[in-house]
Chain A
Amino acid sequence: MSQYFEQLLADPTSFHDAPYDEAFKLTIEQIERLHLEGARKRFAQLRPGLSVLDKLAREQGIEMIEKIDDIAPLLFPHTVYKSYPISYLERSRFDKLTKWLGGLTTTDISNVDATGIESIDDWLDLLDAETPLTVAHTSGTTGKLSFVPRTKEQWTQTIVHSAIIIRDWWGRNSGPDILKNKIPIIIPGYRYGAAATQRGNGIQIDIYAGGEENALFMYPDARFSADVASLAGRLRAAEARGEAGIQDIPQVLLDRRESLLALEKRRPEDVRHFFDEAQRRFGGKDVYVTAMWAILFDWAEEGLKRGIKNIFGPGSVLLTGGGKKGKDMPDDWREQVLEFLGFSNFYEMYATSEMMGLCMMCEHGNYHIPPVIVPFLLDPATGKPLPRKDGTTGRFAGLDLMPNTYWAGLITGDEITLSGWEKPCACGRTGPHVVPPVRRYSEKEGGDDRIVCAGAPEAHDRALEFLAELSM
């Protein structure tokens, strides 16, 4: 125990393959020490190489981390990872985008020559090829893509980390050890792409499945294109500039919008093929499935409609999360998904794409924050940190100590309640945990029929609606 603690204290990144159950046996004093010393260490280590963090520290006048709340003003608003102007994309200024990204990572990418690059996909491929980074982008449903400069090494660590969680979450070695024993992986999504959900695919195929032949994807040959994902934001930015902007939309982007509509037409066929393959190649076998609940529900609903259920073996595992995502799902959605899949061993998480750590749901329905994530609740009005008192509700923010090349300190848009500071969860795990529900502030403030005269209604675009469904 003590050695485990000493190791985390010396190197929080080592948490990724350390026994996961141990993390929730630490005393609250140990957790608090880990938070403070870890935050100090990361801040001192990253600040000199991260111009954006340095700027924020100077703005806030913070030189030293005396107490844990000193970190709160140094957490990035989530907009930082998408603070580049969209006009860089319109004007193919990927050299400027590279420079922008360079301010967010200590990894040196100044060698990259992005002149001549015209699409985000090509830019991401270039970074993949010429730097230690495999940049992940967000889904873009809000209109603008975030780019998170995670390294190749960190991606491997996150995939190993998920396997350790599956092995140890319900007790040491309680789950299958998918690092040791290869397991087929089933993903109802794209095989390729740079969105956070696709970045791990190749690594999972390698280290969980042991090869492509042991993996099944809904779209086995297709790439979830960052340029397509960015469509909504770019069209919106263009429209805000009126005629001038509309004329600037590159033809390639408009073509991609068309291809999206073509993909939508083909979807029923792809779905049917996916079902056939799942049954034919993996029916009755123990598999690893991962996808967000909303995607799984679509798949399950379609399957149950066709009379397909209990597809996979009882020793299978599911890693999932994400809740309803605004979708209209019946109250028994979890049950329907599990009935369709044919097993009940699922691991449900709450996570943000900028952090490496995951918060897993326990048998009492709470999400446990691992000790390498320093959580904060901020007052939604003032942004000031709230006291570490059980049952406190506020805006969730956190610093993940695992990433050692970029600042994983971020303010989210989620309203959550935290407990576990004073009294551990009824499941026995120590440390802070999120008590559901998790709510988006944006949904909360939307109101019902607040009507104002200011605003710009947007024309509804079928292609973009489909994109929103795809990128859940």
Chain B
Amino acid sequence: MTEPFRVPLIIRGEIIDDAEIEHGGRRGGVSFHAPDIAKHIARLPLRTPSQMADLYALSFDDILDYLVELGPRLDFGQNRHVQEAFRLSCITSGLSESILRHHYSHLGAMFDRTEMTRMMERSCGIDYLEGWVDQGPSMFTGLSARTRAFGARCVHVIAGNAPIVSILTVIRNALTRSDAIIKLPSNDPLTAVALVRTMVEMAPDHPITRHISVAYWKGGDEAIEAAIYDPRGVEKIIAWGGFDSVKHITKYLQPGIDLITQDPKLSGTIIGKEAFADEATIRSVARRLALDVGAQNQEGCVSARVIYVETGTDEEGLERANRLGELTFAALQKLPEHLSTPHKAFDHALKEEIAAVRLQDEEYRLFGGRDNEGAIIVSQEEYPVDFSRQLACRVGNIVPIDTVETAVRSVNAYTQTVGIFPEALKAKLRDRLAFQGAQRIVSLGGAATMQHNMEKQDAIEPVRRMCKWVTEESADGAMLEALAG
């Protein structure tokens, strides 16, 4: 039996927790209770833009002060809301308890003053957030302009595969001086709640607290979504997720609503022939590759799935690819448990595919894949497995190739990160990979373990796009009047 989870509705500082409706049958058999959103729907969107004014009484430093104060309050040892979110995630998430414990123990780390400042400097420029920035000379003599980045009234339809998504949403909303309605995902309905509850406890009347709401409704519920996705109360929708999640939303698009989609993506790896220079290099490459496949249990869009290796496809080449497969599988089994563990809910359909691969030993060499320990499948020809898009739960597919051309041309608009070895190959390929569709090109091993400038996300700069870039122009009155003839 699982404990009864309650997912409150929080509207701009007001917590409603009557648990009137049960939402059941989710992963892990978990169900939770949430208020009937229909009863409160009228109050969710911010219909009066004048209410945004309070955010402009705050300086950027004031906002940073608020967030920096919030960080330590999310301490896993103390904060019962965070603890509850962790408990529910242990049931609904694809991440194991040890990995989640690591995440939830470090929620506060993202609220670092320097890092937040850098992020906003890179994405928007703090001077633009703080005031009107002169735009320099114009083609019209005497015309000058100043631009400022303003927050918008947004709905965030967030993903639930890792708590970082909720954290980024809260931080980005505050720093851009926006108003957020967070639509909670059924696979993690409590992390955003924990953050916002803590904000309410910390500063119930603070403008930042009063400009964030969280709500769970069943995605696609027309009665609710028609009322929320209305340009009179919402200017932008930031939607994570795949076709179904976005499809619901596109029904409501009309002039006045800007949709920012953060589509699901897949990531891969390209390993050049230099990896096979000597035994020590192969071993080191295998350890780094195991990180790209295994970190975060391969639950992320950044996780490597298909790995192209420039071994050649002759007998010796296949032997090299198989050797890398064997070593990578061994390294996968040794990853530290805060990064990676055997998957607790191994995908059954994938398991069936692996079972068939095991009986098909002419085409594939299989390492692991017996239980839920993960696997490395080495193709014995230049083709990935037919189920390459289903690879998950720490299952990678090594594909031997004669030339890196094949790998470059496999990259498309659904490719997020490409991990590359060696560095020289990365420098050589990065332009081409970029116009093929890749969005982040990293050193092998760095795909799912660390990340710079996360605000660039999927090469679409969502933080910048969350803002409204408003311009104020000045021209000499006499000159303007002269135009009237």
Contacts and interface: CB of A to CB of B under 8 A. Distances in A.
B328 interface: no
A85 interface: yes
Interface in A51-99: 52, 55-56, 59, 77-80, 82-87
B310 to A, nearest CB: 15
Interface in B182-228: 185-187, 218-220
A450 interface: yes
A234 to B, nearest CB: 10
Contact of A56 (B242, B303, B357, B359): B359
Interface in A34-66: 52, 55-56, 59
A164 B357 CA distance: 39
A84 B356 CA distance: 9
B356 A457 contact: no
A441 B351 CA distance: 14
B395 to A, nearest CB: 13
Interface string A358-399: 000000000000000000000010000000000000000000
A451 B185 contact: yes
Nearest to B298: A454
B264 interface: yes
Contact of B356 (A80, A380, A441, A450): A80
Contacts of A84: 360
Nearest to A144: B386
Interface in A226-253: 233, 236-237, 239-245
B186 A83 contact: no
Contact of A448 (B186, B265, B384, B389): B186
A451 B410 contact: no
B392 A451 contact: no
Contact of A451 (B218, B245, B388): B245
A81 to B, nearest CB: 9
A447 B406 contact: no
Nearest to B382: A87
A102 B464 CA distance: 59
A166 B202 CA distance: 73
Contact of A85 (B159, B359, B386, B406): B386
A384 B311 CA distance: 40
Interface string B400-439: 0000001001111011000000000000000000001100
B355 A77 contact: yes
Interface string B344-367: 000011011101111111010000
A468 to B, nearest CB: 15
A231 to B, nearest CB: 14
B231 interface: no
B359 A452 contact: no
Contacts of A239: 412
B411 to A, nearest CB: 6
A407 B263 CA distance: 42
A129 B155 CA distance: 62
B360 A83 contact: yes
Given A237-B386, A244-B406, A83 B357 contact: yes
A269 to B, nearest CB: 32
B160 A452 contact: yes
A411 B359 CA distance: 15
B241 interface: yes
Contacts of B159: 451-453
Given A86-B386, A442-B349, A455-B389, A450 B26 contact: yes
A305 B412 CA distance: 46
Chain B at the A interface: SS class: loop
Contacts of A413: 349
A273 to B, nearest CB: 36
Interface in B288-344: 298-301, 303
Interface string B368-391: 000000000000010111101100
A245 B306 CA distance: 14
Given A240-B389, A450-B185, A456-B265, A59 B414 contact: no
B78 to A, nearest CB: 29
A343 B300 CA distance: 55
Interface in A441-472: 441-442, 445, 447-458, 460
Given A87-B381, A411-B352, A454 B386 contact: no
Contact of A242 (B241, B301, B363, B412): B412
Contact of A455 (B94, B220, B264): B264
A391 to B, nearest CB: 19
Nearest to B158: A451
A262 to B, nearest CB: 27
Contacts of B303: 454
Q: Which one of A56, A239, A456 has the greatest number of beta carbons of chain B within 10 Å?
A: A456
Nearest to B263: A457
B266 interface: yes
Given A79-B352, A242-B409, A441-B348, A454 B392 contact: yes
A376 to B, nearest CB: 15
Contacts of A380: 348
Interface string B235-252: 000001111110000000
A97 to B, nearest CB: 12
A448 B383 contact: no
A448 B244 CA distance: 9
B26 A447 contact: yes
B40 interface: no
B245 A449 contact: yes
Given A77-B355, A453-B161, A458 B186 contact: no
A453 B240 contact: yes
A90 to B, nearest CB: 8
Interface in A188-214: none
A442 B240 CA distance: 22
Contacts of A441: 348
A385 B157 CA distance: 41
A441 B281 CA distance: 44
A450 B27 contact: yes
A452 B264 contact: yes
B439 to A, nearest CB: 12
Given A85-B381, A448-B186, A453 B265 contact: yes
Query: Which 7 A-B pairs rank lowest in CB-CB distance, beginning with the nearest?
Result: A449-B219, A455-B264, A83-B356, A451-B241, A79-B356, A77-B352, A242-B410
30 contacts: A55-B361, A59-B358, A77-B356, A79-B353, A80-B356, A85-B383, A86-B386, A144-B386, A241-B383, A242-B437, A244-B410, A411-B352, A442-B349, A447-B27, A447-B186, A448-B26, A448-B186, A448-B218, A448-B219, A449-B186, A449-B220, A450-B187, A451-B187, A451-B245, A452-B241, A453-B301, A454-B266, A455-B265, A456-B264, A456-B389
Interface of A: 52, 55-56, 59, 77-80, 82-87, 100, 144, 233, 236-237, 239-245, 380, 411, 413, 441-442, 445, 447-458, 460
